[in-house]
Amino acid sequence: MEIAPSILTADFTRLGAEVEAAFEAGIRWLHLDVMDGRFVPNISFGPLVVQALRPLADRYGAILDAHLMIVEPERYVEAFVAAGCDRITVHVEASPHLHRTIQQIKALGAHAGAAINPGTPTAALEAILPELDLALVMTVNPGFGAQAFLPGCLAKVRWLRRELDARGLREVAIQVDGGVNATTIGACRDAGANVAVVGSAIYTRGQDVASAVARLRAALEPGEPAVSAWS
């Protein structure tokens, strides 16, 4: 399972060092949470930060994965690809012309993903699945880091796994995002997710990034049972 750190709770006064610590720990997928204060009640950062991180990601051969929690994402897709995003995920709730936006991302040469909030059923993804490189199941309501994992969302991950397997779409990644930590990551993997976004369980002041990554990897060791409360 790929671990994709979200920098939202990182120390932004030393963002390069925070990201490099994750890359040094073997991480090759960085998750960038873009918030506009409209789709979600918080504002984070835009293409400038992506652009600043691109050379560092190149040095480690890492992927920059932008999660756009913004209205009218189609207006900004080009800017995020130009800034260096390899992957762009938009929310189905924010994209009335989702099919067009997904094609737009792919035409720009990036991998395209679609995300659903906890209150959105999997039906919202059903028609678009063959076009996707990634489906993102939010396991918190988006907007803030360090919220509690919503175990009810795992049923949607299980549905996606079944549906993608049944349709022979095994190359579509299933990503979970929100409240994923050493306690909950095993259940996400068991439900069928193969990319885990992890924010505060990696980036918390005073916590060593490499040890946090090691704890997550240990929780994914074969034979390490998922904590039953989350299964």
User: How many residues appear in the chain?
Assistant: 231
Q: How far apart are CA 158 and CA 154, in angstroms?
A: 6
Binding-site string for ligand DX5 from residue 103 to residue 122, where x marks contact by CB under 6 A and - marks none: --------------------
Q: How far apart are CA 91 and CA 77, in angstroms?
A: 13
- Single-letter amino acid code for the residue at 155: A
Q: Which residues of 214-223 are buried (b: 16+ CB within 10 A; e: fewer)?
A: eebbebbeee
CB 142 within 8 A of CB 117: yes
Residue numbers 127-146 binding ligand DX5 by CB under 6 A: 140, 142-146
Catalytic entry in 33, 36, 65, 133: 33
**Residue with the CB atom nearest Zn ion in the bound state:** 67
33 catalytically annotated: yes
Instruction: Say whether 64 sits in a helix, a strand or coil.
Output: strand
Contact window for ligand DX5 (CB under 6 A) among 16-24, 50-58, 187-195, 197-205: 197-205
Nearer Cβ to ligand DX5, position 164 or 195?
Answer: 195
177 catalytically annotated: yes
Q: Which residues bind Zn ion (CB under 5 A)?
A: 33, 67, 177
Nearer Cβ to ligand DX5, position 71 or 169?
Answer: 71
Catalytic residues: 33, 177
